[in-house]
Structure 1
Amino acid sequence: MTLSLGILLAFQCLGEAISRVARVPIPGPVIGMVLFLLLLSAAPSLTEQVEYVSRGLLNHLSLLFVPAGVGVMVLANVMKAQLLAIAIALVVSTILSMAVAALVSAALMARLEQKKARAEAAKIHTA
Structure 2
Amino acid sequence: MNYLKQFLIILAVSLLGEICKACIPLPIPASIYGMVFMFVFLLTGIIKLSQVKDAGKFLIEIMPVMFIPAGVGLMASWNVLQTVLLPVSVITVITIFTVMASTGLISQAVINRKKKASDDVTSFKEAA
- Settle same-fold status: TM greater than 0.5: yes
Runs of 4+ in 1 over 4 A off after TM superposition: none
Contact residue 11 and residue 35 of structure 1 kept, 8 A: yes
In the alignment, structure 1 residue 48 sits paired with structure 2 residue 47: no
Q: 1:77 aligns with which of 76, 79, 87?
A: 79
Paired residues in the alignment total 126
In the alignment, structure 1 residue 121 sits paired with structure 2 residue 123: yes
State the percentage of identical aligned residues.
29
**Rounded Cα–Cα distance in structure 2 between residues aligned with 1:97 and 1:66:** 23
Q: Against the structure 1 CA distance between its residues 67 and 49, is the aligned structure 2 distance closer, same or farther, given a 3 Å change threshold? A: same
In the alignment, structure 1 residue 65 sits paired with structure 2 residue 67: yes
Q: After superposition, what is the alpha-carbon deviation per residue over 1:101-127, rounded to whole angstroms, capped at 9, x for unaligned? A: 23212322332343244224323422x
Listed as ranges, the gaps of 5+ residues in structure 1 are none
Deviation at 1:76, TM superposition (A): 0.9
Listed as ranges, the gaps of 5+ residues in structure 2 are none
**Normalized against structure 1, the TM-score is what?**
0.78
In the alignment, structure 1 residue 109 sits paired with structure 2 residue 111: yes
Q: Against the structure 1 CA distance between its residues 23 and 77, is the aligned structure 2 distance closer, same or farther, given a 3 Å change threshold? A: farther
**Rounded Cα–Cα distance in structure 2 between residues aligned with 1:49 and 1:113:** 31
**Rounded Cα–Cα distance in structure 2 between residues aligned with 1:106 and 1:54:** 26
Contact residue 13 and residue 29 of structure 1 kept, 8 A: no
Task: Let me know the Cα RMSD of the aligned residues.
Answer: 2.4
Say which is worse superposed, 103-112 or 62-71, in terms of deviation. 103-112
**Normalized against structure 2, the TM-score is what?**
0.77
**Rounded Cα–Cα distance in structure 2 between residues aligned with 1:47 and 1:7:** 11
Contact residue 11 and residue 36 of structure 1 kept, 8 A: yes
